[in-house]
């Protein structure tokens, strides 16, 4: 099974929010909610600190607390690629997954189910990149199999320094940031 993940080059992100707009349009995300978003934080140390711009979303964790805490099995690991998904029909809207996610990646959809990034699995199954990846004007996002040493994402990770968000949470994030 592939282990799908995203590699984002923070040196190339200009904070334009095209990824956020594309996600909302592609997935019909309701007004006031977001499946991806932009943040900025200060990284590095004196004398070379820098402002890191990041496009963030569900990390599709290797060890996802949102799946283990779900009482109905609605939150699950997709058998193809290990993408973390929510079965809307099986979700009872208890919000346990929302509380368990260290990344605040989930929200309760107005229709009553937990919602979040799906890595645009409906596009990926057709051989397309997630919408955010496909529209980025600086091409700062890459998507592929983290377990395939020949994939573009693996080669990038082998050639650059990288970091994940909140590694201390122990969830094994599969959205990985190339350090500027």
The CA distance from 3 to 155, in Å, is 15
Q: Which DSSP letter does residue 167 get?
A: G
* Residue nearer to ligand SF4 on the CB measure, 22 or 114: 114
Position 75 contacts ligand SF4 (CB under 6 A):
yes
> Site for ligand SF4 (CB under 6 A): which residue of 91, 120, 131, 157?
91
Q: What's the min distance (Å) between Cβ of 147 and ligand SF4?
A: 17
Position 72 contacts ligand SF4 (CB under 6 A):
yes
H or E element: which one contains 14?
Answer: none
> Site for ligand SF4 (CB under 6 A): which residue of 53, 83, 114, 178?
114
The CA distance from 39 to 82, in Å, is 26
**N-term to C-term CA, the chain:** 31
The CA distance from 140 to 17, in Å, is 12
Rg, the chain, Cα only: 16
**Bridge partners for 56 per DSSP:** 37
> Site for ligand SF4 (CB under 6 A): which residue of 9, 19, 27, 60?
60
- Per-residue tokens: 82: 């290990």
> Site for ligand SF4 (CB under 6 A): which residue of 44, 49, 93, 167?
93
> Site for ligand SF4 (CB under 6 A): which residue of 61, 85, 176, 178?
61
Position 176 contacts ligand SF4 (CB under 6 A):
no
Residues that bind ligand SF4 (CB under 6 A): 58-61, 64-66, 69-72, 74-75, 84, 86, 91-97, 101, 103, 105-106, 114, 116, 171
């Amino acid at each position: 099974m592939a282990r799908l993940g995203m590699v984002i080059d923070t040196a190339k992100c200009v904070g334009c929010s095209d990824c956020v707009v594309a996600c909302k349009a592609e997935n019909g995300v309701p007004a006031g909610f977001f499946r991806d978003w932009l943040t900025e934080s200060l990284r590095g140390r004196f004398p070379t600190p820098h402002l890191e711009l990041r496009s963030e979303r569900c990390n599709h964790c290797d060890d996802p607390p949102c799946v283990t805490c779900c009482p109905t099995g609605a939150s699950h690991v997709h058998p193809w690629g290990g993408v973390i998904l929510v079965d809307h029909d099986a979700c009872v809207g208890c919000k346990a997954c929302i509380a368990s996610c260290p990344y605040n990646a989930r929200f309760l959809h107005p229709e009553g189910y937990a919602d979040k990034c799906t890595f645009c699995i409906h596009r990926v199954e057709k051989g397309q990149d997630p919408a955010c990846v496909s529209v980025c004007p600086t091409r700062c996002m890459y998507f592929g199999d983290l377990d395939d040493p020949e994939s573009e994402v693996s080669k990038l990770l082998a050639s650059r320094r990288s970091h994940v968000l909140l590694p201390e949470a122990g969830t094994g994030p599969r959205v990985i940031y190339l350090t500027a």
